[in-house]
Structure 1
Amino acid sequence: MVDAKISSGRSFSLTGPRLLTLLTVGLSLGALILDWTAGRMLFLGSSITLPLLVCSLITAALGYWAVPLLQALKLGQIIREDGPQTHLQKAGTPTMGGVFFVPVAVAVALVWSGLFMRGQDFIPVLAVSVVTLAYAGIGWLDDWQIVRHRSNKGMSPRMKLALQVSVGSLFCLWLAWSQPVSITTINLPLNLVLPLGLLFWPLAVFVLVAESNATNLTDGVDGLAAGTCAIALLGLAALVAPTSAGLMVFCACLSGSCLGFVVHNRNPATVFMGDTGSLALGGALAAVGLLSQNLWGLFIVSVIFCFESVSVIAQVSYYKATKGPNGIGKRLFKMSPFHNHLELTGWSETRIVGAFYLTNAILALLCLTVH
């Protein structure tokens, strides 16, 4: 735990429950402020606040039934031996938590957009929901292989990548059919528009695959991926609100479900989201960014996820580049992804999560400011 001195001279311990409280207050206040400043009725269908709170409460409550069920089904996490040694004590903690918090967000978003939105707002929500569930399905297959074979290797990297590319390509084909002209541009700050033409399609598939893998890599510390994704999704909800109320509600619902999941995933975690959850979150973020033509905004709210991925690539590349005659190279970090490096330098899990939450909150504000 992290101790910080406060004015009374007593120490303040940054614990899992306190981080959950800070995240809950921050997201709730953020949603309220965003609705108020945009002139939206705070607790009506076309708001950010209400779907966020509804999904967070449903997911948190559902977790008290789903987590014991996952435990009873013996779906325990297999911890890799070459990871931080402190993680070995987490072996056996139920995984595949994405199977209950992702469907909640998708179901509520579809019902919400169908009841309260115009017809043209429902189709985008349906499209990103399909992508989200498809990536959740890929993650479930990977998680199932891990649990079934009692090995943390899961499905082969080639098969996983092929499935991710296939889903991304199908989504791009739908984009090409539904929005053949306008979708091949990217909105930039200062109302600038960047036309990409045919280059948009390989970029779009790359974004879907890279974002889903990046959120997957970030999921390595209790409450880290769920909380940072909740913040990123809230920022993205505000960003797409002026052009798509449906996508705004979808992001709000998934942000709320992430918050509800943190109730059970905060340190010490009683459940992990697994690839089922982490791949779905990345796929959802990317799909919303692509469909709303906000790749620049998506990049800003995803800087942490990108950095986690880059730290892995840099670690592997540096190790290979510095290999000596004995076949052993040097390491750029103590361990990658970067949150593992921080943990091995002495940072506690709660300190890492708190720092990442704060950084992502600043990035979300920056995204809204510069866009």
Structure 2
Amino acid sequence: MLAKFLYQFTDYFIGFNVFRYITVRAALAAITALVLSWWIGPKVIRLLKKYQIGEEIRIEGPQSHQVKRGTPTMGGLIILFSIVIAVLLWADVFNLYLLLIFLTTLVMGLVGFLDDYLKSIMKIKKGLIGRYKLLGQISVGLLLGLVIYFHPFFDGLHSNTSVPFFKNLEIDFGWFYILFIIFVLTGSSNAVNLTDGLDGLATGLSAIAFIALAGMAYVTSNVKFADYLNIIYLPGTEELAIFCMAVFGAAMGFLWFNAYPAEIFMGDTGSLALGTAMGAAAILLKKELLLLLIAGVFIAEALSVIIQTSYFKYTRKRYGQGKRVFKMAPIHHHFELKGWHETKVVIRFWIVGILLALLSLSTFKTQ
């Protein structure tokens, strides 16, 4: 890691002393990921266009989206590349928190890449079969759950999670904590995946969520801040702050190309990786329940699909004809069909995401 290497030369140049500060390394990780995204983005877009690796738009989706057919996809590779390089440069790669979130993110990025490959290159319409995606999510969740539950590093907090809005209140799930982790990781990765349906929507919301998570990781790793805020003190989570800032930078850099009208989509390569990283960060920070606020828009998107599907099946079974709660799900399409322009939906959802992120940070002082 570059920061550790440069810090060794503090005796020769006092300026290198800054690399011991988490804030400096986190800022550098964000800037590095941002610049890398800007640098590699055009190259990846040109390559995908050259080989005609484009998005297939659902026929049953809004008609206005049909013009997006053929837009390069698999842009999640840009995000993952930028995160990996930024983290390797500025974070402590031997930190257990970092290793766990790094592994889970890359594994689900690989699962997403396989899905994009099958759809866009092999032209298999449905891509990776749903149950195989689910198997990947469950496997990653199971691995993370087993490590947290049995590894001595997490002694005393194996199966605990903090409850927002309450001082020093924690829930001990016992053995069910492993299942809880699987549920959180699966839900978060699917929620981001479902949200990725408008230009810049999932990218911008992810950036908002990760900068909030970075702040939480920073104060959680500081014994004075943790004591003042009455939150769980977790030494070592400062490296999660660096990781989250790297994701923030990569997402903002990718948004440069993904904003309306999008030049490239992140595909499942990006959405599954980002969703998994978001869930893993909340789990490692013992803020699983607070994820309901941090990722509130993502959760609303996922719930809209569940509600729509369940109600349609129920009414079809009972009345012989299926009825819908929304004009179309996920809910961002509902607002599109109500007449909102795509950019208006995206910006308003971003605003809600910012408000929820601020609200989630405010719970720290109420605890």
Q: Which category of TM-score, normalised to the shorter sequence, fits these structures?
A: 0.7 to 0.9
In the TM superposition, 1:97-116 aligns within 5 A as 97-114=75-92
Question: Using the alignment, how far apart are the partners of 2:19 and 2:249 within structure 1?
Answer: 15
Among 249, 252, 263, the alignment partner of 1:256 is 249
In the TM superposition, 1:13-32 aligns within 5 A as none
Q: Is residue 236–residue 297 contact of structure 1 (8 Å, CA) maintained in 2? A: no
Question: Using the alignment, how far apart are the partners of 2:320 and 2:47 within structure 1?
Answer: 46
Q: Is residue 114–residue 128 contact of structure 2 (8 Å, CA) maintained in 1? A: yes
- 1:71 has 2:44 as partner: no
Aligned counterpart, 1:157: 130
Question: Using the alignment, how far apart are the partners of 1:64 and 1:149 within structure 2?
Answer: 24
Unaligned runs of 5+ in 1: 1-40
Aligned counterpart, 1:356: 349
- 1:218 has 2:211 as partner: no
SS of the residue corresponding to residue 92 of structure 2 reads helix
Deviation, 1:148, is 3.4
Aligned counterpart, 1:267: 260
Distance 1:180 1:73, change over 3 A: farther
Deviation, 1:152, is 4.0
In the TM superposition, 1:69-218 aligns within 5 A as 69-114=47-92, 122-178=95-151, 179-189=154-164, 190-218=167-195
Root-mean-square deviation over aligned CA pairs: 1.9
Aligned counterpart, 2:322: 329
Question: Using the alignment, how far apart are the partners of 1:153 and 1:110 within structure 2?
Answer: 35
Deviation, 1:215, is 0.2
Q: Is residue 79–residue 152 contact of structure 1 (8 Å, CA) maintained in 2? A: no
The superposition leaves residues 111-167 of structure 1 with CA deviations (integer Å, 9 ceiling, x where unpaired) of: 31138xxx6xx2211210110000101111111111134354111111111121112
The superposition leaves residues 159-205 of structure 1 with CA deviations (integer Å, 9 ceiling, x where unpaired) of: 11112111211122222232254131111232322211112110100
SS of the residue corresponding to residue 138 of structure 1 reads helix
SS of the residue corresponding to residue 296 of structure 1 reads coil
Question: Using the alignment, how far apart are the partners of 1:268 and 1:276 within structure 2?
Answer: 20
Aligned pairs, how many? 326
Percent identity over paired residues: 38
Unaligned runs of 5+ in 2: 1-16, 222-236
Distance 1:326 1:152, change over 3 A: farther
Aligned counterpart, 1:231: 208
Q: Is residue 42–residue 50 contact of structure 1 (8 Å, CA) maintained in 2? A: no
Question: Using the alignment, how far apart are the partners of 2:98 and 2:273 within structure 1?
Answer: 15
Q: Which piece of structure 1 moves more, 303-312 or 142-151?
A: 142-151
Deviation, 1:299, is 2.0
Amino acid at match of 1:171: L
Deviation, 1:323, is 1.4
The superposition leaves residues 248-275 of structure 1 with CA deviations (integer Å, 9 ceiling, x where unpaired) of: 0100000110000000000000000000
Question: Using the alignment, how far apart are the partners of 2:296 and 2:307 within structure 1?
Answer: 16
Question: Using the alignment, how far apart are the partners of 1:175 and 1:103 within structure 2?
Answer: 27
TM-score w.r.t. length of structure 1: 0.84
Q: Is residue 45–residue 112 contact of structure 1 (8 Å, CA) maintained in 2? A: no
Deviation, 1:69, is 1.0
Deviation, 1:45, is 4.9
Distance 1:86 1:161, change over 3 A: same
Q: Is residue 218–residue 238 contact of structure 2 (8 Å, CA) maintained in 1? A: yes
Question: Using the alignment, how far apart are the partners of 1:109 and 1:219 within structure 2?
Answer: 25
Aligned counterpart, 2:33: 55
Question: Using the alignment, how far apart are the partners of 2:43 and 2:218 within structure 1?
Answer: 34
Q: Is residue 133–residue 280 contact of structure 1 (8 Å, CA) maintained in 2? A: yes
Q: Is residue 301–residue 330 contact of structure 2 (8 Å, CA) maintained in 1? A: yes
- 1:367 has 2:352 as partner: no
Deviation, 1:324, is 6.4
Q: Is residue 314–residue 322 contact of structure 2 (8 Å, CA) maintained in 1? A: yes
Question: Using the alignment, how far apart are the partners of 1:295 and 1:42 within structure 2?
Answer: 32
Q: Is residue 297–residue 353 contact of structure 2 (8 Å, CA) maintained in 1? A: yes
Q: Which piece of structure 1 moves more, 295-304 or 308-317?
A: 295-304
Question: Using the alignment, how far apart are the partners of 2:342 and 2:125 within structure 1?
Answer: 21
Question: Using the alignment, how far apart are the partners of 2:296 and 2:22 within structure 1?
Answer: 28
Aligned counterpart, 2:272: 279
Deviation, 1:100, is 1.7
SS of the residue corresponding to residue 171 of structure 2 reads strand
SS of the residue corresponding to residue 271 of structure 1 reads coil
Among 22, 30, 33, the alignment partner of 1:46 is 22
Question: Using the alignment, how far apart are the partners of 1:328 and 1:143 within structure 2?
Answer: 34
Among 287, 299, 302, the alignment partner of 1:306 is 299
Question: Using the alignment, how far apart are the partners of 2:142 and 2:204 within structure 1?
Answer: 29
The superposition leaves residues 329-351 of structure 1 with CA deviations (integer Å, 9 ceiling, x where unpaired) of: 11110100000101111111110
Question: Using the alignment, how far apart are the partners of 1:214 and 1:44 within structure 2?
Answer: 36
Aligned counterpart, 2:336: 343
